[in-house]
Structure formats: structure tokens, C-alpha cells
């Protein structure tokens, strides 16, 4: 699965920032430690410790912080209307992520079938169509260059496009072109596609 920390790592990579990474959660544990909860109240990943020592949590808030502190005008627009558009796509990324999750669940469950997975795609066509319409009219979500909106959504776009070819998702030509554009970015390759692609993609393989 793409994880919220994949997109934070990608953001750090796009900005060319140096960092120390400390793994927590899963086999590493530590999410329930009082010291971790003091930094990240829900005990989830990721947490970013800023140079001031402040602990930041929630991946999209971390992306906005990093882009405000280190990004260009294009990455996180200063104009309030343009900024609101970028943030709207960031927020809507949750709906897109849920749709991608439901499609993946349909082909990865033990009782998965190609027909069932195709039906799941059809059920999500309304949500995918929103993104498709936008990306048919612009190369990136907020226009001609990468922004925080793409940083929030790209991991899920990657996961969608990595679904089995039989699902026919390449009919979303705008989403596919955007994803191919993201795959040309070294930071996306390092922190998203090389990580997420390594995980299996077979119908009926939970």
C-alpha cells in the first residue's frame, strides 16, 4: 500500500532537503510510547521534527509546512485563491485514495475475480472521472507545474495505475499521462514508484 509517509519522503526529495529517517511502527514499534504520542497524538506515521525541534504530524500538514518553508511559488501558491484550489485537491485526495483502496480490495481479496474487480472500477468511475477531467485539461493538478496537490495525490495515482492491466484503467488517459509524468521525476521514482511497485499486484493475491 502507499503510505502517508511515502508522500512526505517524496516531498523531501522534491525539495532536495537533507533528513535523518527513524523507522517506527510495525516491526519497529514505538507508536504507543508516551514520548511518540507526545509528538503525534494519534500515534500514527509520519512525524516530522522541524529544525526548531517542533514535532509535526498528519502527512498533508507536513507537506504544506515543507512547501511553505522551502518550496517555490508554484509548488504552494501564495495567491489565496490559487492556494485554495491546490488545497481543495489535497483534501479531495482522501476521496480518491478511498476509491483506489476499494478497487484494490476488490482484486486482492481471497474471493476476487476479474469480473468483480472490473465492477468495482465501474462503481468508482464517478470519482476517477473527476481527476480524469482535470488532468485532461492540465498536465498537473493546479496547472503546468507540480504542486502540493500532486504531492498529496501522486502515491494513489501510482497505485491505481499499477492495478492489473485487465482492469482497463488505462482508459483514463489523463490520469495515465499524469502518472507517467510523475514517474519521470527522480524523487518520485526514489520514494514512491520503487517502493510501491515492489509490492505484489495479482488478482486474488491479498
Ligand X SMILES: N[C@@H](CCC(=O)N[C@@H](CS)C(=O)NCC(=O)O)C(=O)O
To ligand X, the closest distance from the beta carbon of 4 in angstroms equals 3
85 near ligand X, judged by CB under 6 A: no
CA distance 147 to 149: 5
Beta carbons within 8 Å of 56's beta carbon, 6+ residues apart: 47, 48, 49, 50, 62, 65
Residue (168 or 206) nearer to ligand X, CB: 206
C-alpha cell at 150: 500532486
Nearest-5° Cα angle at 181, 201 to 100: 40
To ligand X, the closest distance from the beta carbon of 178 in angstroms equals 21
Distances (CA, A) of 179 to 101, 151, 169: 17, 12, 12
To ligand X, the closest distance from the beta carbon of 3 in angstroms equals 4
127 near ligand X, judged by CB under 6 A: no
Which residue of 11, 59, 142, 147 would you call a contact of ligand X, by CB under 6 A? 59
To ligand X, the closest distance from the beta carbon of 160 in angstroms equals 17
167 near ligand X, judged by CB under 6 A: no
15 near ligand X, judged by CB under 6 A: no
Strands (E), 45-170: 47-49, 55-57
Residues in contact with ligand X by CB under 6 A are 3-4, 25-26, 31, 44-45, 58-59
Amino acid at each position: 500500500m502507499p503510505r502517508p509517509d511515502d508522500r512526505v519522503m517524496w516531498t523531501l526529495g522534491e525539495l532536495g532537503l537533507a533528513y535523518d529517517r527513524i523507522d517506527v511502527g510495525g516491526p519497529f514499534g514505538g507508536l504507543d510510547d508516551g514520548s511518540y504520542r507526545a509528538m503525534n497524538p494519534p500515534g500514527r506515521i509520519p512525524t516530522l521534527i522541524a529544525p526548531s525541534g517542533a514535532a509535526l504530524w498528519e502527512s498533508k500538514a507536513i507537506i504544506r509546512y515543507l512547501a511553505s518553508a522551502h518550496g517555490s511559488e508554484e509548488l504552494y501558491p501564495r495567491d489565496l485563491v490559487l492556494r485554495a484550489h491546490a488545497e481543495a485537491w489535497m483534501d479531495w485526495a482522501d476521496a480518491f485514495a478511498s476509491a483506489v483502496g476499494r478497487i484494490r480490495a476488490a482484486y486482492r481479496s481471497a474471493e476476487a475475480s476479474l469480473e468483480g474487480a472490473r465492477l468495482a472500477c465501474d462503481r468508482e468511475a464517478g470519482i476517477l472521472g473527476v481527476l480524469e477531467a482535470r488532468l485532461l485539461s492540465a498536465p498537473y493538478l493546479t496547472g503546468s507545474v507540480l504542486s502540493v496537490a500532486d504531492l498529496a495525490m501522486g502515491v494513489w495515482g501510482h497505485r491505481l495505475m499499477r492495478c492489473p492491466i485487465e482492469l482497463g484503467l488505462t482508459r483514463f488517459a489523463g490520469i495515465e499521462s499524469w502518472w507517467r509524468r510523475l514517474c519521470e521525476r527522480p524523487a518520485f521514482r526514489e520514494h514512491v514508484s520503487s517502493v510501491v511497485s515492489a509490492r505484489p499486484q495479482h488478482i486474488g493475491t491479498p
